[in-house]
Chain A
Amino acid sequence: MKLEFELDTYKSEIKPTWCPGCGDYAVLNALQHALTTLQLEPWNVLIVSGIGCSSNLPHFLSTYGFHAIHGRAVAVAEGVKLANPDLHVIVTGGDGDGYGIGVGHFIHAMRRNLDLTYIVMNNEIYGLTTGQASPTSEMGMKTKSTPIVGVIENPIDPIALALSTGATYVARAFSGDVKQMSELVAKGLEHHGFSLIDALSPCVTYNKINTYDFFRKRVYDLNKEGHDPSDLKAAFMKALEWPVMQRDRIPLGLFYRNDKVPTYEDLEPAYKKGNPVKQALGVEDADEILREFL
């Protein structure tokens, strides 16, 4: 069957500028596959990113895009989605952008259960600024900003954070498995509510610890081991396996999905008047409004 939108129709003329071997290529590839699977019209997709190597991603796609400032991509995306709920709004960025400087917006967007899909390319390092510790860098990791004894802070556990904050679709993927990642992204896009895909995306230049080999030795598909994504309690237990509790096994796959929670858009009273961007301007009941001031 001929598709209306082939894989290539989602690619822009701009070639990625990432280092050879960067995990972000796989994320771009997976996203393009997911868009193709769902046959989303490129002009009805808007991808918002922050700042960092991974945040250049929207330039390599043929959809609409907004390359925002550092840490604020989620907030910009919330504004876009609230103003035009008909758009498919995707947020992409790195661990520094989303789990560090922008973690406040991340938490509150999940609490709102807005219908956004957030793909975090998590490489556990700051790459674009040439190798400082990130909020997901592991204890003891030596970086340019932690050269003497290494990192002495606990890493953020984005999966546990998302589960506890109200995200209704929580998954982890790995750049070494594009097929699984693309399926997780496509399901996240289909999901009605806030979807987090924490994408383990190795930085081949600045992170010599969390390499492809590091992950390949440890990852496993939690769904194949019988995890039930409707079970929130079990999802928490799985989330804690890494990085909080162990280092030898890293679960990938869908931790949690709940389609029964209303989204923010479902509850927003302004939408009774229609999609804000499509409403006529002007006020119909000026006299009634003014009467309360008499």
Chain B
Amino acid sequence: MSTPEIVFRIGGAAGDGVSSTAESFAKMCSRSGLHAWTYSSYQSVIRGGHVWTQVRGGNQPLLSHGTDPNVLVCLNQQTMDVHQGDVLEGGAIVFDSDLVKPDPSKLRKDVRLLGIPLRKMAQTITPTGIVRNTVALGAAVRLCDIDFRHVESAFQDIWGDKKPEVVAHNIQAAKLGVEAVQQAGGSLKLGLRFTEVPRYLMTGNEAVALGALAAGVRFHAQYPMTPASSILHWMAAHGPQRGVVVKQVEDELAAMNMAVGAGHAGVRSMVATSGGGFSLMVEAIGQAGMTETPLVAVVVQRGGPSTGLPTKTEQGDLNLVLGAGQGDWPRGILAPRNTRECFDLTAKAFNLAEVYQTPILILSDLYLGEGFRTVDKLDFNVPIVRGMMAADGGVAEGRYKRYAYTDSGVSPRVLPGTKGYQYIAATDEHMESGELISDILAGLPEFVEERRKMHEKRMRKLEGLRKDMPPPELWGSPNADLTLIHWGSTWGAAHEAIRHVEEDEGIRVNSLEFPALFPFHADETLRILKGVKKTLSMEANYTGQFARLLRAETGYKPNFTFPKYDGEPFTWREIADKILEVVA
């Protein structure tokens, strides 16, 4: 398992340009034809703190941000102190020789120390030395043999025609870094194959926004919240010219209620937020369930509870979305495992929302939502299915029944503005016409029956919805000794861990995973579980929220669990270690 790869890590204080430098580096990798995967460990401050980002690049498709780096850039002493021991044998550490001192006793053997006067060099270009991170970037580019053309084009894309002098300064700075490495031993000779065919590089949040656009979203409402904000940013920059009303609103209450209004009016409507914002949306999403209004809600999870860990990842909001809203109402919950699925499942969610006239939730997380990954070209020709409309069949006979009882539970809808079909959508319990039974009629014998029938009609939609939700998948070797059970962004590290233990230790492990979490495919899951030996359930929360759902739906209790709630994503190595521990 030693295919050539780049693992580039850069650290400094917030405001040092760590993440923008890493993002540029990832772009240079993807333009060199490499697969790329980034992870940014940052904090909720604008200046200071300790921030580091890792970019992994390789010739084979990647599954995680990897573990130890072969190139480390230290913009401050803290980065050196924290990370110097991680650098792989044969790797290199680039640091500002005037500000940072390495501790050779902590290094692995054969690590090249490249002390470069980053700030002083940068000050020869601009008095502030603001481009010092770019000097370091140039050094990394040379160490990894990346073609300098990609450096120039990346800077051109970022600052472009608006600030040609900034482009020039950065190119000059990167060249100084290249020359410094040239004089100190040249490249690390990592052995990567570069091509002329660039790859698409995007975050999970961008893929969600693209999926929504492909599916024809026409209304997006959001209140800024990490780690969901980049969905708003992308939509605000790209949506309006394509007919999408993008609204930053006063709070998440407004976001969800506006999305309900827009969905009711007949456009494809969505919101995006994190757990805290979704908590504010809870009452209003129940309103969508009751009024049978289609919409898509994206929840990009971060560490909780409360404000929690704003810049760290977790899968702790499954219970929240499963139980959101008072009473029972039908909902669908999708959980993309990777960037590609962020696109596919978001596009699909709009169809499910309109066909079943109810909210569909997408549960993502910070690791998936904010990390840049390469993907194959996305196909925007996604199927668009808008569900049953009453007005397609002509004028209503007698009074139109918006909530007519049907076998599927789905009642043909009309859009406001359609002549002759006027009705009231109500959050109170209502009859087929929409007329309330909650006020003066509730409790009268025939309305006890009406309430039962209407509630059953709504909930019946879950049966059809379940069939249309993607089923659980068993991935990997048949007859494995151990089956990993997981959902969401844990996918990549789990698969990579399985490859390692199979190749390095000869242990057969496979993986049971769930792109849809609700309505739950209980029968299919039980059928799969009958064929597995031992199971290890792993998820990034304290209580094992998915394991509890699995047990509630199937009675099955995993043999082993691996909860993680430290804010960091699962790495393949810790999963591999856990596998070895439980199969021993």
Contacts and interface: CB of A to CB of B under 8 A. Distances in A.
Interface string A33-76: 00000000111101010010000101100111111110010011
B537 interface: no
A66 B265 CA distance: 10
Given A66-B264, A69-B427, A276-B262, 10 more contacts: A67-B424, A72-B254, A75-B261, A78-B258, A87-B416, A105-B250, A268-B240, A273-B241, A276-B218, A289-B238
23 contacts: A56-B436, A56-B439, A59-B426, A63-B422, A67-B436, A68-B257, A77-B261, A78-B258, A82-B258, A104-B254, A105-B254, A270-B218, A270-B245, A276-B243, A276-B262, A279-B218, A281-B268, A282-B381, A282-B384, A284-B242, A290-B210, A293-B202, A294-B31
A44 B258 CA distance: 19
Nearest to B243: A273
A67 B428 contact: yes
B415 interface: yes
B131 interface: no
Contacts of A86: 417
B553 interface: no
A70 B420 CA distance: 29
Interface stretch (B16-24, B283-291, B450-458): B283-291
A69 B243 CA distance: 29
Nearest 6 interchain pairs by C-beta: A79-B261, A281-B216, A273-B243, A79-B258, A75-B257, A286-B380
A43 B269 CA distance: 22
Interface string A71-109: 010011111111110110000000000000000110110
Contacts of B568: none
Given A76-B264, A79-B221, A270-B239, A281 B384 contact: yes
B243 A293 contact: no
Interface string A267-294: 0111011101101011111100110011
Contacts of A43: 416-422
A293 B380 CA distance: 14
A146 interface: no
A270 B246 CA distance: 8
Interface in B141-199: 198-199
A145 interface: no
Interface string B373-388: 0000110110010000
Contacts of A108: 249-250, 254
A128 to B, nearest CB: 10
A109 to B, nearest CB: 9
B283 A69 contact: yes
A116 to B, nearest CB: 11
Interface residues of B, number: 72
A68 B287 contact: yes
A17 interface: yes
A274 to B, nearest CB: 7
Contacts of A1: none
Contacts of A65: 422-425, 434
A118 to B, nearest CB: 14
Contacts of B86: none
A3 interface: no
A65 B436 CA distance: 12
A219 B103 CA distance: 83
B247 to A, nearest CB: 7
A87 B265 contact: yes
B213 interface: yes
* Most B CB within 10 A of own CB, among A48, A81, A84: A84
B73 interface: no
Contacts of A274: 243
B34 interface: no
Nearest to B261: A79
B219 interface: yes
Contacts of B213: 283, 289
Contacts of A272: 241, 243
Contacts of A77: 261
B253 interface: yes
Contacts of A283: 213-214, 242, 380
Contacts of B250: 104-105, 107-108
Contacts of B218: 83, 270, 276-277, 279, 281
Contacts of A293: 200-202, 206
Most chain A CB neighbours (cut-off 10 Å) among B202, B384, B419, B422: B422
B324 to A, nearest CB: 14
B68 interface: no
Q: Is the interface of B mostly helix, strand, loop or mixed?
A: mixed
A268 B246 CA distance: 9
A96 to B, nearest CB: 16
B476 interface: no
A278 B240 CA distance: 15
A284 B283 CA distance: 37
B267 interface: yes
B259 interface: yes
B88 interface: no
A284 B243 CA distance: 11
A107 B254 CA distance: 12
A195 B238 CA distance: 32
Which residue, A43, A51, A63, has most C-beta atoms of chain B within 10 A?
A43
Interface in B440-460: 440
Contacts of A148: none
A270 B243 contact: yes
Nearest to A79: B261
A108 B240 CA distance: 21
Contacts of A279: 218, 243
B369 to A, nearest CB: 16
B392 to A, nearest CB: 16
A130 to B, nearest CB: 14
Contacts of A79: 219, 221, 257-265, 269
Contact of A104 (B251, B384, B415, B434): B251
A64 B200 contact: no
A80 B377 CA distance: 35
Nearest to B440: A17
B215 interface: yes
A149 interface: no
A54 B199 CA distance: 58
Contact of B265 (A69, A84, A285): A84
A79 B420 CA distance: 23
Interface string B228-248: 000000000011111111110
Contacts of B31: 294
B435 interface: yes
Contacts of A48: 261
Nearest to B239: A270
B102 interface: no
Interface in A242-261: none
A249 B201 CA distance: 67
A277 B422 contact: no
